[in-house]
Amino acid sequence: MVKRAVLTVDKRFVVDQVDRRVYGSFIEHLGRAVYEGIYQPDSPFADEQGFRKDVLDLVKAIHVPIVRYPGGNFVSGYKWEDGIGPKESRPIRAEAAWRVIETNQFGLNEFMDWCKKAHTNPMMAINLGTRGIEEAMDILEYCNFTGGTYWSNLRKKHGYNDPHQIKLWCLGNEMDGAWQIGHKTADEYGRLASETGRAMRQLDPSIELVACGSSNLDMPTFAQWEATVLDHCYDEVDYLSLHQYYANKGDMADFLAGSVGMDAFIQSVATICDYVKAKKRSKKTLHLSFDEWNVWYHSHENDNKLAPWTQAPHQVEDTYTFGDALLAGSLLITLLRHCDRVKVACMAQLVNVIAPIMTSGTGAWRQTIYYPYLHASNYGHGTVLHTLVDCPKYDSQTYGEAPYLDAVAVLNEAACEMTIFAVNKDLMEAMELTCDLRQFEGAQVVEHIVMTSDDLEAVNEEGCERICPVPNGDAAIDGGKLSAVLPKASWNVIRIKL
Ligand code: AHR
């Protein structure tokens, strides 16, 4: 029997405005993300600054609002000064986080130029692994001071007369992880984050700061880490970070239930933030920055065999399947459902490294996960409505009870539009979806985009995009009632004109 799902929405029951920064991404000096990804001066696709134009086009189509940079694990050993000034004088370093050679031919100013061309904004991470307060103040002065000081004058000398005005800063990266260069206890990190944040704000009170939460939900110190760190720096920071990657261990239904795990993770971290808020009798509510999320498992075996100390190796390069794209869609839906707390999120990463975009010497192409990201970023604007999903459920090994349907409705009153994003996780059967929209008089379906395949393992390759969306869904509104058939294993975007 065909499964049925009912969505209930009411335009008066809103979660919150979507913060566009929830569609952020990430570029780390890792593998071929920077070199051969966004920057490749000797490529036929390079512009006059060495940026790959084919990549810029694919990035611009997503409308990426922010890009986190330069790491990741890389930032915890990075000297940002290595990447500024004349390229011929920049040092070549042994980069310890990923055990590769870093030429520093791409650095802070190149990144800022690239951001402009990609129509995006920086989310800058500072090194709190090997470095500390002084270097954080230096880079902030270099970037945001107008002039008349040592670092701002140096920026001018480097050809950047106007300050970069970087608003959003990450206080280190995954500082709880034993793999992190200079990793710390929660007390050590909390103190450092607090003092660094305070000093940075003395220089520029307009900036926003992200403190490191746990590296993932499985960290043994999870929850205690968040509580202790925030005990120290609650007043100084604006966001707490969450990171989580999802792996398919051979059970597709379980893998697709990963959105239940993300949902619980967000709720837990929000609860810990509120616990510290209560303890401190604070009036401030801390928001969340889910600044690393994605699917990551395909590349592990290959990476274990990589020889160290090469430059820009094929490292952390996952080739994504159609099944991976379904989970990416469900994760985006989950982030939207929590848009009252999650104000920043970054799909990690953007190009070549666990990325929606891949490059070779002969071109650039879209992986399967590109499309849910593209749709959410292009159509998921406005306010998220509380979206009640009444549908059959299944038992998943890792996450317990999971719904067969993930869905969310986003109302864009300014554009007189509403978009419903939905993933049918049933691998065997289509699902009939209905939703009472009589409240939205005259509402009509503009298009129902569907991405589906009989082959959950199908991948996109250069010159062969097997998986791509098609606007051939049957969603329709009759008498104020929306009905649609969501094919088995499908990503759906139902666009409605109000
Ligand atoms: O995104 C790849 C890596 O994953 C990042 O460098 C690190 O922060 C995380 O562990």
**Model confidence pLDDT, tens digit, residues 150-168:** 999 999 999 999 999 999 9
- Written as six digits, the tokens of 252 are 């597709």
Does 324 sit in the ligand 1 pocket, CB within 6 Å? no
Catalytic annotation, pick one of 36, 81, 141, 174 = 174
pLDDT of residue 31 exceeding 90? yes
pLDDT of residue 152: 98
CA dihedral for 91, 184, 70, 310, sign (positive or negative)? positive
With 0-12 / 13-18 / 19 or more C-beta atoms within 10 angstroms meaning exposed / middle / buried, residue 218 is exposed
pLDDT of residue 289: 98
481-498 pLDDT, tens digit each? 999 999 999 999 999 999
Protein residue whose Cα sits closest to atom 4 of ligand 1: 72
Global pTM exceeds 0.85: yes
pLDDT of residue 50 exceeding 90? yes
pLDDT of residue 212 exceeding 70? yes
392-450 pLDDT, tens digit each? 999 999 999 999 999 999 999 999 999 999 999 999 999 999 999 999 999 999 999 99
Contact yes or no for 256/323 (Cβ under 8 A): yes
Average pLDDT over residues 174-200: 98
Question: Which pLDDT band holds residue 1 (cuts at 50, 70, 90)?
Answer: low
Active site residue 174: yes
Percent of the chain with pLDDT over 70: 100
Does 317 sit in the ligand 1 pocket, CB within 6 Å? no
Identify the three-state secondary structure at position 259. Answer: helix
Does 291 sit in the ligand 1 pocket, CB within 6 Å? no
CA dihedral for 300, 41, 120, 145, sign (positive or negative)? positive
Protein residue whose Cα sits closest to atom 9 of ligand 1: 72
Protein residue whose Cα sits closest to atom 6 of ligand 1: 72
240-275 pLDDT, tens digit each? 999 999 999 999 999 999 999 999 999 999 999 999
Average pLDDT over residues 327-353: 98
Contact yes or no for 31/353 (Cβ under 8 A): yes
- Written as six digits, the tokens of 13 are 């029951």
pLDDT of residue 70: 98
Tell me the HSE value of 108 on the side-chain side, using a 13 A CA sphere.
27
pLDDT of residue 382 exceeding 90? yes
pLDDT of residue 270: 98
Active site residue 457: no
pLDDT of residue 69 exceeding 70? yes
